[in-house]
Each structure stands twice: as structure tokens, then as C-alpha cells.
């Protein structure tokens, strides 16, 4: 298994700028072998502005950014990519655009078979999983399927929020919504990444990184908390 993934909960952490909280992890992840990163801005409407923001940030880290939306052939752009970064926004719009541009299979092949490093943030992390069924976003468009890239055999809930006992909000908590997901047929494991949290996957090894804990929801079992630097490799093989 050649996959290398950096799955980040959020692009911007309160009190810091775009990708500031994870920039050292990004530099460590792409390293010196990658010179150009293919950016996928499909999750936002203004793809030009989004690309400019990503391009400016990655330039400070020593990487050139090429955007897939600027390519005449998106599939060929994926085939030539040295590294891939899919940014956040609306997960439904992102996945629909991946299907519309016929790059789902190409990205999966490049990452899983060729070992091209893949970074996702928020929606970009959602689409790296089995399905987008545990996204927080509204279905503003309809992708042909909720099935995503399948780079890991479980689902993720980015931006996870703990229940607030002082809140007067009467809607479902994130925990309740994940429980509802598990009441239906779905992926047994959902890794909830709080903001400031990220998962590094190298082959069959998974390590929790960042400054906050993650919470694992497994159907039929109590939820579990995990500290940064915990080995979560069991998620890559045990989905029961």
C-alpha cells in the first residue's frame, strides 16, 4: 500500500491564518521531492480566488500550485500531479465536480497505486473517505453518488463540536447526528476530528496529529477519545 495522506479537519484555526496551524505538517508531508502541488478548488464557487489563496500560501512553504480548474484536461492534470491538495468548502459541490470532471478514479489510482501524496482539508478530507454521508454541509447540489474516493475504509466528521450543556439550541448535536447515521446501514467507524486535529496516513499506518483530541464513533460501541500522536492504524484494517 503506497498511500500517503494528510487529512486535516479545518483550513483555518481561530486566531491564525489560512493553513497556518498545520503548515509545518504540510512541509513535512510533501517534503522536498514534491515541487508542484495540484490544487482542487471545486468545493467553492470562486475557484480563481480560492486558487490564489492556496497558491500564495504554498509559495511561502516552497511549493508551486497548479489548479485543476485551469487545466484543459483535468484527468491528465491528475496523472501528472506530484502531489494533490483538495481544499474545503461544500462537500456536495466538491464531490459532484469530481464526478463531473471524471477524476474520481484517476485520483484514487494515483494515490493508492502510485503513492502520490494527498492532502485534504475539511471537505477535501470528507471526500477521501468511504462516503460523504457524515459531512456537516447542506446538499446544495446532487452528486451522482455519496460514494467518495475511498482512500481510507472509514468515514470522517471534520470540525467536530462537542455537545454544549449551556446551549439553548434545540437541534441535534453532532454526536446525535453521527448516532443517526449509525442507525442506518453505513460505515461502522466515524472518526470525528476537532478543529486543530489531523490524521497522517502512511501505507497501513495512521497517526493522529495536531493540538486537539479526536473522538471515534463505532456502531454498537461506546465512543472513544484519542490524544494527538496516538497510533490509529487499526482503523485502516478493522472496520467492524
| pLDDT computed for residue 240 by the predictor | 46
Is residue 169 very low, low, confident or very high in pLDDT (cuts 50, 70, 90)?
A: confident
- According to DSSP, residue 70 is labeled G
Catalytic residue among 69, 147, 159, 233: 159
CA dist 14 and 3 (Å) reads 30
Predicted confidence band of residue 54 (pLDDT cuts 50, 70, 90): very high
Q: What are phi and psi of 151, to 5 degrees?
A: -80, -20
Degrees to nearest 5, angle at CA 44 with 83 and 182 = 85
Active site residue 159: yes
Please tell me the least confidently modeled range out of 12-26, 52-66, 146-160, 163-177. 163-177
Residue 27: enclosing H or E segment and its boundaries?
helix 23-30
Query: Is a pLDDT exceeding 60 seen at residue 56?
Result: yes
Number of helices (H), then strands (E), in the chain: 7, 11
Band of residue 238 on the pLDDT scale cut at 50, 70, 90: low
* Residue pair 24/31 in contact by the 8 Å Cβ criterion: no
Q: Distance between CA atoms of 122 and 41, rounded to whole angstroms?
A: 12
The dihedral over CA atoms of 156, 210, 233, 186, expressed in degrees to the nearest 10, equals -10
Q: pLDDT for 196-227, tens place per residue?
A: 999 999 999 999 999 999 999 999 999 999 99
* Average of per-residue pLDDT across 166-188: 88
Q: Note the pLDDT tens digit of each residue in 90-114.
A: 999 999 999 999 999 999 999 999 9
What structural domains and CATH numbers belong to the chain?
4-162+170-235 (3.40.50.880)
Phi-psi region of 53 (alpha: psi -120 to 50; beta: other; left: phi over 0): alpha
Give Dmax over CA atoms of the chain in angstroms: 52
Cα dist from 135 to 74, 111, 128, whole Å: 25, 22, 12
Which of the residues 9, 11, 122, 131 is marked catalytic? 122
Using one digit for the tens of pLDDT, what is the confidence trace for 116-160? 999 999 999 999 999 999 999 999 999 999 999 999 999 999 999
The band of 164, judged by pLDDT with boundaries at 50, 70 and 90, is: confident
Give yes or no: 231 in active site: no
Active site residue 137: yes
Q: What is the CA radius of gyration of the chain?
A: 17
Catalytic residue among 25, 100, 137, 147: 137
DSSP single-letter state for residue 233: G
Amino acid at each position: 500500500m503506497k498511500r500517503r495522506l494528510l487529512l486535516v479537519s479545518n483550513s483555518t484555526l481561530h486566531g491564525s491564518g489560512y493553513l497556518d496551524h498545520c503548515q509545518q505538517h504540510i512541509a513535512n508531508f510533501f517534503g522536498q521531492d514534491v515541487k508542484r502541488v495540484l490544487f482542487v478548488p471545486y468545493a467553492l464557487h470562486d475557484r480563481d480566488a480560492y486558487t490564489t489563496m492556496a497558491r500564495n500560501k504554498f509559495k511561502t512553504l516552497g511549493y508551486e500550485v497548479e489548479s485543476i480548474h485551469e487545466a484543459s484536461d483535468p484527468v491528465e492534470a491528475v496523472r501528472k500531479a506530484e502531489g494533490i491538495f483538495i481544499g474545503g468548502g461544500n462537500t456536495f459541490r466538491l464531490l459532484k465536480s469530481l464526478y463531473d470532471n471524471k477524476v474520481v478514479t484517476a485520483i484514487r489510482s494515483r494515490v493508492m497505486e502510485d503513492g502520490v501524496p494527498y492532502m485534504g482539508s475539511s471537505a477535501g478530507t470528507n471526500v477521501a473517505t468511504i462516503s460523504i454521508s457524515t459531512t456537516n454541509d447542506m446538499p446544495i447540489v446532487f452528486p451522482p453518488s455519496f460514494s467518495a474516493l475511498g482512500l481510507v475504509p472509514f468515514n470522517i466528521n471534520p470540525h467536530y463540536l462537542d455537545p454544549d450543556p449551556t446551549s439553548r439550541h434545540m437541534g441535534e448535536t453532532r454526536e446525535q447526528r453521527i448516532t443517526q447515521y449509525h442507525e442506518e446501514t453505513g460505515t461502522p467507524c466515524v472518526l470525528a476530528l476537532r478543529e486543530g486535529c489531523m490524521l497522517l496516513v502512511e501505507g497501513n499506518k495512521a497517526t493522529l496529529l495536531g493540538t486537539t483530541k479526536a473522538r471515534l464513533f463505532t456502531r454498537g460501541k461506546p465512543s472513544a477519545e484519542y490524544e494527538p500522536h496516538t497510533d490509529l492504524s487499526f482503523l485502516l484494517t478493522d472496520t467492524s
